[in-house]
Structure 1
């Protein structure tokens, strides 16, 4: 990398010195002996080369001298002035003017090279920087991939939850609609005057002497019915249970069926399990 900046500066300096020397010899050779013209040209190039060498020495030591820099630019300006003056007095000024800026260009290239040297890094430092940059790029790529994956997963989850919620809402709506229709039909049937008569006419043949009271359920909240009397009723012995069953069974003629007797037994506030009550019925009926 160093050669990419120093070689152009060296080449431009060499060309500028050759041009300056040639122009001074050709321009002053007609007015003074050519030896004098050669000395003048070598003096300009020598001064320029000396200041350049001193600047490079200071730069190698990490130092800088403003006076030396000013002197170097002064020699470059003089060389450029000589080339411009020769171009203006020659028969083909365009060609000489095209190369008259070479001395200043050479100084500018050495300035660029000096800036590069002050900011140049070693191979180890450059490798470390490249490693850090690559690590940062890798971490950024992994973070982006993780974020994209999490976003896709969250999107899938939200889609599934939304779909499930929509299905539940549809089922609830359909269920509510069905229940509404059922309760509407039930309410219409309950409010009808012919419902009780129809049910009575159907059940009369199997419930001789009993006129049932039919009441259909009503839409609304329900409360559990508790019977404190049943909870507080004392347990009956087998003999007492048989006596109560016999009394209820023969309270009507013909004797009551087991279902009717059981209903009257519990309605009277007696307490007994279904197993004991059925056993007492069998003993009494036998």
Structure 2
């Protein structure tokens, strides 16, 4: 990557120096001896090359000097000015000389771009680390997208199954309700029939002589709740001991625990197995 920025700058600089030297020699050679014109051209190119070398040295050290940079741009402007002046005074090929007059400025701009690249360039290790981080981020994003798609597909499948199951249950319930309604309708029709009771009575008269039962089929409708049975209060330990002792000695010889527990519960008394066994142990002790 370094060669891609430095080679164009070097080539542009070399072409600009050659053009500047040639133009100075051709332009001033008519007014002064050619060695003097050659010295002037080499002075312009040498000053430009010296400031460029100094700039590159400072850049390699991570430093920057505005004065040196300004001098370098001054020499570049001088070289461009020489080319422009020669093009304006040339009788032939003025357009061609003006077309190449920008090369010194372009060369300075390319060196500026190369300097910016050097200040932002990274080592191969850092570039590999950045590529690895970017690849890892892309992998994680792809895995997350795949996981979300899988979860969405799973949820869609679950909802579809639940919907179908609910539809089947609704159909079964509707069919059952329809069948049950038909059965109750048949039962109600039979219950309200005039000959239903008489037919049932004629069937049972042979097995129950002298008895005329009243037949009533079940009625489908609201029912009244049955009152809850009142529970007897729990026996105290003393009362429980007395009952256990009384039942145990109700026969001779004394009853066993199993026989006593059977008669205790048959008499309608209530007590947990733990309390009953504890009372037995107290009485039998």
Q: Please classify the TM superposition score into its range, dividing by the shorter chain length.
A: 0.7 to 0.9
Shift of 1:206: 4.2
Q: 1:61 to 1:225 in 2, by over 3 A?
A: closer
Deviation at 1:221, TM superposition (A): 4.4
Corresponding residue for residue 24 of structure 1:
24
Question: Could you say which residue in structure 1 is the equivalent of 2:146?
Answer: 145
* Aligned-residue offset at 1:117: 0.5
Cα deviation per residue 1:245-279 (whole Å; 9 max; x = unaligned)? xxxxxxxxxxxxxxxxxxxxxxxxxxxxxxxxxxx
Relative to the length of structure 2, the TM-score reads 0.74
In the alignment, structure 2 segments of 5+ residues that lack a partner are 230-285
Structure 2 residue 176 is the aligned partner of structure 1 residue 180: no
Q: How does 1:45-60 map to 2 (within 5 A)?
A: 45-60=45-60
Residue 115 of structure 1 corresponds to 116
CA deviation profile, 1:151-186 (whole Å, cap 9, x unmatched): 212221221112111111111111112112221222
Q: Which whole-Å CA distance do the structure 1 matches of 2:165 and 2:133 have between them?
A: 48
TM-score, structure 1 length as denominator?
A: 0.74
Q: Distance in 2 between matches of 1:116 and 1:134?
A: 24
SS in 1 for 2:211: coil
Which shifted more, 72-81 or 213-222?
A: 213-222
Q: Distance in 2 between matches of 1:125 and 1:206?
A: 107
Deviation string 1:119-150 (CA, Å, 9 cap, x unpaired) is 11111111111111122222222222222222
Give the RMSD, CA atoms, in angstroms. Answer: 1.9
- 217-226 or 162-171, which deviates more: 217-226
Distance in 2 separating the partners of 1:164 and 1:180: 24
Residue-pair matches, total = 227
Deviation at 1:222, TM superposition (A): 4.7
Tell me by how many angstroms 1:73 deviates: 1.0
